[in-house]
Each structure stands twice: as C-alpha cells, then as structure tokens.
Structure 1
Amino acid sequence: MIEFPTTPSDRQHRLQLLDQLLQQSELLWRPQPFKEPRPEWCRKYPELSAALLQLTDAELERFDRTPDSLLPWLSRYLPQLDLLPQLTSLAELPDKRPVTVENRFFDAMPGRKRAQVEAFTGTLGEVSRPLLEWCGGKGFLGRLLGFVWQQPVTTLEWDAALCRAGEKLSQRGRVEQKFYIQDVLQSELPVILTNKHAVALHACGGLHRQLIRRGVSERTEMLDIAPCCYAVGVPDNYQPFCDFTQLKLRRDDLRLAVTETVTAGRSEIRQRDTEMAWKLGFNRLRSALSGSIEYQPLKPIPKAWLKLGFTQYCLNLANREGLELPVDIDWQMYQEYGLMRQREVMRLLLVRHAFRRAIELWLVLDMVCWLEQQGYRVRLGTFCARELTPRNIMISARREL
C-alpha cells in the first residue's frame, strides 16, 4: 500500500484526488436504496447488482463488519475503486505510551469509553500547558490527562447533570478540574483558548468544527481532536473549510460517513434490521393506499413500538401520520414484503458503504489542510483500532506561527 507523504502540499493533493474520485462516483454513493428500490447504478452495472443480491447472510455480515474485505470484492465490478484503499489509508499515530493509573481512578467510566480515553491519552504526547476539554461530558478525558501530566483542567459541557457528576469524580480523583455549563457554539466563553492545550474526544459535528475555528482565531497552541458525527449542525449543505474543493456534500452524505455498526451488539443489529423491515413494510402499505410510489420520510419512531408487533406498529404509525386504513389489510403480506426489501437494501447498501471512509477522510483532510494554511503543523492518523471505535481518526495540531 502506498505511504502518502505528510507535507501540507501532499495532503492538499490527496484531498484533491479524493475530491475528484468522489465527484466521479456520485452515481454509486449518493442514491439511497432504502428510498429507491433500484438505484440507477443497478441498471449500469447489472452484474454487480445481481452478485450483491445473491450474497449469503454470512457474506453480507463479513463485508459489513470488515470494509477492507469489501473493496477488493467490489473492484471486480468497479475497477475505478482500486485507488480508494490507498487514498483512505491512515497510519496509526506514534508515541503510544501506556497509561499507568490505578483502576479505581476509572470508577464510573464505561469499559469501552475507558479504552478510548486511554488510547487517546497515550497518543497525545507531552502536555505542558493547562488543558481545555471541549464538550467533555463528565470530564473523563480531561481528568486522566490532568492527573497524568499534573496540569489544571477546564471542562466545558452544556449538560448540567454531567458537570455535577464530573465535579464529584474530579474531587475523588484529586484533580484540579473546573466545569463550566456552556454551549460552546455561543460567542461568549468563560475562558479563552490562548495558551491552552485543547482536547476533544468525539465532539459531534459543529462542535469540533467550532473548536477548530475558535482555536485558530484565539491562537491556541495545541489542538488534539477526534471528530465524530459530522452531520450534526449542518443545515442542508456542508460548507467546507478550504476553498479549492469542488465536491458538494449534503447533510445526508455526512451521515453516511458514520453508519458503521462495528461496535453494535447482536441485539442492536437485530433491532436495526427489524426497524428497517417494518418501516419498509409500512411504506409499502402507505404507497398502496395513496397510489404514489414516491418515498415519504417518517419522523423518528419510538423504539418501544417495536415490542408491539408489526400490526400494532403500523396502526400506531398510521394514526400518527393521519393515514386512514381499511379493515381488510393483509398484514402478513406487508410484513413479508418489508423483510424481503430489508434483505435487498442491506446488500445494495454495500456499494454506498464502500465510500464511508472516503467521505470521512475528505471531511478530515478539509479541516487539516485549513489548519495548515493557518500556520499549524498537523499530525493525522488513528489513535486506536477500528474495533474499539470506527471514529478513530485524530487531528493533532501545533501552532508554528
């Protein structure tokens, strides 16, 4: 696999290559099989469509769980994807240092969260300035960093209950950590970012983008960010940081970047599959009654309705949507249709899913290139294994000017 250089000009070139590839492949990743039974690419690539629909459940699960095995298989039918693994490769960041802290320090920290916080901390390197934890929740990351490097910590978090819980934990852990109940999207902040080491582990969408903008404007010396949930805070169309890209992304496109279920348990996956099948069954019923084949979106549906059975699920939805139902509905037919369509959708979605990391890396490189334009030296890579969290990309920026 090609190792890409890490200078600003090379990163800009890589972003431009991704930009071009994603534009040329829009036909493959923009259509949503849930909303249209057969995307246009099914007619353009009939052999691929047929091969996907013939996949066994075991093959589907393998491709869904291990994207690295999906791309070579798809490239048999789509040779233009050969470059994708090279463009989306990221090395693991160096400076992995074991975090030697007693287990009691991690009380009240969920196991997976603890592993992510330890991996982030071990990758960070030396902390020589006061810490600013952005959207920190209970302050798990800031508290560990403050303890390891003996630095004061300021944690910004909008949820008052999380702040109160974090304060108790910091007192128990004997860490100098102050919490502020704060919406970081507001113009006024209780602290300035100058002379700080700002960290953010999985601050969603507009929150991590705001930290980058505020950090640059206030000349923050050090920024370490693991982005997450890129669609949050995007109205309809994404506004990139850099002005040399051509790709136009919508909010739905950004959601695609974070649809992996690698950390989901079996029960969560079964619930996801049932929910998709029942939505498809209901949409079929609604189309049959209205005579319209156009997809009609549904507002979020309470998960508790999935425990009521398919018939009551549809009755509740029909009542909420103001849909008048006849008395002689063949519920079993619509349920079986939903299950059949769910099976098809999950297979056709593999083509779209092949571009998830490419879109995510386009978004990340857009931020990285802009930071470099603003005078920062940036390291980019992964801070933990994908199995721990698919959102394992870390932007580590140090101001030079």
Structure 2
Amino acid sequence: MSNYTPTHADTFLQLSLLLQHARHDWQHTPFSCTQLPWPELAKPLQALDEDELDTLDADDDAAFAWLSQYRPELLSSQQLTLPELARAPNYATPRWSSGIGGRKWAQIKDFAANIHAINHKFEGVTLTQPILEWCAGKGHLGRLLAQQGAPKVTSLEWAPDLCTQGEALANQLQLPHEFVCANALSPQAAALFKPQQIAVALHACGELHLRFLEHAAAAGTQQLAVSPCCYHLIADEHYQPLSQAGQQHDLQLDRHSLRLPLQQQITGGERVRRLRHIELTWRLAFDELQQTLTADSSYLPLPSFPKRLLSGDFSDFVLWACEKKSLTPPHIIDSEHWLALAASRRLLVKRIEFVRHRYRYLLELWLLLDKALFLEEQGYQVQLGLFTDLQHTPRRYLLQATLP
C-alpha cells in the first residue's frame, strides 16, 4: 500500500486536465442561453422541478452524486481535498472588537492562530517578526496580532476614514500599530515589503492578492499568509497565471468564470432564499424587457444593487435598471407580463447553474494551486489548507509560505 502524498504540482496537473476536458460544463453564461447546452443532460435535468433542483443544488455531496452518473470523471475530483489548519482556542470578544460581526471575528481569530501555528507557537506567545497587514480596513487583524506580541504592525489601507479609525483604536490600546494610507497598487505600497517580515492579507481581492504575492516574492519576505477573495477583480480581461505550470496549462479564465467560485453561499433561511429567487426573476424579467426596448437579443448584465430594491415593486426596479443602462423606460410597465416571461427562463438558468456549481471548488483550487506553485518556484515552502470553518465563510482557504 503506497503512502505517496501528491505534490501541489501533481494535483495541479490532474486538475488542469479535468477542467480543460470539462470546459463545456462550466464556461457557459446561463443568462445568455436559450436552451440547455448539454443534450445528454436535458432529459434528467428537466425531470427535476424547481424545488428539487434548489434542494439538490444546496447539498454538494448529493449534487455530485447526481451529476457523476453522467460525468463519472467528477468522482476522482472529490478526492482533491485540503487539510484543516489551526483554529483559535475560543472566539471570546475583547471590548475593542465591538462592531465586528461574529463570523468576521472568528475568521480573524482563526487567521491569527495560523500565524502562531506556523511558527510553532500558540496564542499569547510573542511574535518575533514585524507584521505587514495588506488591505487592512480598520486593521482588526493587525491589532489582534499586535496584542498577541508582534513587535510592530504596519497596516496598509487606501481609505482615509478607515485608517483614521484604526489609528484611534491602536492609540487607545497603546499598541505598536501604524497605518499607511496608500493605494495597494502603488510603488509606495510595494516598498513596504521587507525580507525580515511576516506579510498577511485576509480576504484580499483579485488584483490586490496577486500584487501581494509578487511584491512579497520580489522582496524576499520571509513569511507570508494570504486568504484570497474575489478572483474576478483583476486588471486584465483574463486571469494571467503566476506559475510556470499555470502558464503551461492556462485555462483562459475570463471574469465571468472567475466569479464562479464566489457563488457558494453559507447564509440560509427562508428570507434569504426568497430574496435570491426574486433577484433572479427580476434580472431575467428586466432582460426580457430591455431586449424589446433595444431590439437586441443579447443579454444585458446589471451591476450589483442594494437588496432593499427587492422589497419594492418590479416597476421601480425597472426604472433603476434603465437609468443604470441609459435606457428610456416604457410609459407603462406591464410587470405581470415580464415576470411571467422570466419564470420559465429562470428554471433554465437554474438547471445550467446546477451543473456549473459542481465546478466552483475545482476552479478555486486551480487558482489557489497556481499561486502555491508560483511561491514554490520562488523558493518558498508552501502550505495550503482551510483556516476557518465553513459556517464562518466559504472563502476559508489559506496560503502560508516560508523561506527556509
């Protein structure tokens, strides 16, 4: 019996081949489709009504079992799991953490626990290296690390009001914690990376976590820890792999595909499900309306919007959407007509998304492994795993790297 453990490179190659082969499953834009893109799946998917589809989609294990009847290659992908990393011993909240949500505080505590764990230390033991906190907000993570003994914490944040609030909290607690108010994409931010340093980034978005990794590697920063988020927020139209292996097996991921990992939700409840149902229906209903207004059958995407819009009338939503897209709304908005058209289209979208959702984790793992391999190419020893529980956030992946 073999005890061989696959390397990051081994897993990345397996994943690259699987995702290339399955591209026709995950690359579709559901709102742009007029029929199911998989003839062989049409009959079984159409046999599922909307409630059955929603229930199955919410249970990843059951959904994988269902789809693997028709995509047996997916069974091997279920073995591509990541290890559980350190957790905080408790989530007790200090007085200064007032205003930080419970899930967010748990993420901060678990992230900090891993900074200690990788140094073979435990919470409360003094850290010996200064900390650089990237895209810090009010510096909650940096403040916790300063309280746990970091000799100096520098928090980079571009929003002046957040810097001001963070500085006030640090001064109140008399901590060695300073803020640099600057754009993370600027040369000033790049110059903050030093060799003798621990650089940390909790949920840095897209381009910001890419620059974090490149700047840290270029500076020879001894230790870094990053939890990536919002992969689609990049400067280019397509994701540019960092590693040599990623460039060799480039999936040509556009921003639409990069959004797929973010479609996993952890919050539930009837109200949340109802709002998601309304939002999907209204987006589709508006698209039916705009196609008539513009005489163009192309799907017109709408930006994110305040959820309070969903508590009003569909006609108000149409006025908002028309303003956003510089369209002249009709004098009379026949809401019942447009919503009826959206209802049948909604089920088509859900059936397509059901298949695409089975590749959320696999695409995110590919993106994470590309970053891990890049760091290994720069001489780092890399650990990739899960730093917090799913109930706290689906963005619970942590890359930690150390120069030996």
TM-score calculated relative to the size of structure 2: 0.88
Distance 1:102 1:284 in 2: 49
Give the 3 Å change call, closer, same or farther, for CA 146–264 of structure 1 in structure 2.
Answer: farther
Q: Does 1:219 align with 2:220?
A: yes
Amino acid at match of 1:30: Q
Partner SS for 1:132? strand
Equivalent of residue 16 in structure 2, options 19, 24, 32: 19
RMSD: 2.5
Residues 99 and 121 in structure 1, CA contact (< 8 A), matched pair in contact too: no
Q: Does 1:47 align with 2:39?
A: no
User: What corresponds to 1:271 in structure 2?
Assistant: 275
Offset at residue 129 of structure 1 (A): 0.5
Give the 3 Å change call, closer, same or farther, for CA 314–97 of structure 1 in structure 2.
Answer: closer
Give the 3 Å change call, closer, same or farther, for CA 168–318 of structure 1 in structure 2.
Answer: closer
User: What corresponds to 1:66 in structure 2?
Assistant: 59
Q: Which structure 2 residue ranges, 5 or more long, are not aligned?
A: 120-126
Give the 3 Å change call, closer, same or farther, for CA 335–98 of structure 1 in structure 2.
Answer: same
Q: Does 1:92 align with 2:96?
A: no
Matches within 5 A, 1:1-400: 5=5, 10-41=7-38, 43-51=39-47, 54-57=48-51, 59-87=52-80, 89-93=81-85, 95-98=86-89, 103-124=94-115, 125=117, 126=119, 127-189=127-189, 191-243=192-244, 244-263=248-267, 266-300=270-304, 303-318=307-322, 321=325, 323=327, 330-400=334-404
Offset at residue 44 of structure 1 (A): 3.5
Partner SS for 1:236? coil
Amino acid at match of 1:32: T
Distance 1:328 1:181 in 2: 49
Q: Deviations over 1:310-347 (max 9, x none)?
A: 13322443465455566676431211222332243223
Residues 30 and 353 in structure 2, CA contact (< 8 A), matched pair in contact too: yes
Offset at residue 291 of structure 1 (A): 4.6
Give the 3 Å change call, closer, same or farther, for CA 338–152 of structure 1 in structure 2.
Answer: same
Offset at residue 75 of structure 1 (A): 0.7
Partner SS for 1:257? helix
Offset at residue 146 of structure 1 (A): 1.7
TM-score calculated relative to the size of structure 1: 0.89
Amino acid at match of 1:167: E
Give the 3 Å change call, closer, same or farther, for CA 389–101 of structure 1 in structure 2.
Answer: closer
Residues 29 and 256 in structure 2, CA contact (< 8 A), matched pair in contact too: no
Distance 2:305 2:267 in 1: 23
Give the 3 Å change call, closer, same or farther, for CA 387–301 of structure 1 in structure 2.
Answer: closer
Amino acid at match of 1:230: Y
Amino acid at match of 2:21: Q
Q: Deviations over 1:285-324 (max 9, x none)?
A: 2334555433233455565543431133224434654555
Q: Which structure 1 residue ranges, 5 or more long, are not aligned?
A: none
Residues 383 and 392 in structure 1, CA contact (< 8 A), matched pair in contact too: yes
Distance 1:250 1:269 in 2: 28
Distance 1:26 1:254 in 2: 13
- State the identity %: 34
Count of residues in Structure 1 that have an aligned counterpart in Structure 2: 390
Distance 1:388 1:3 in 2: 33
Amino acid at match of 1:184: A
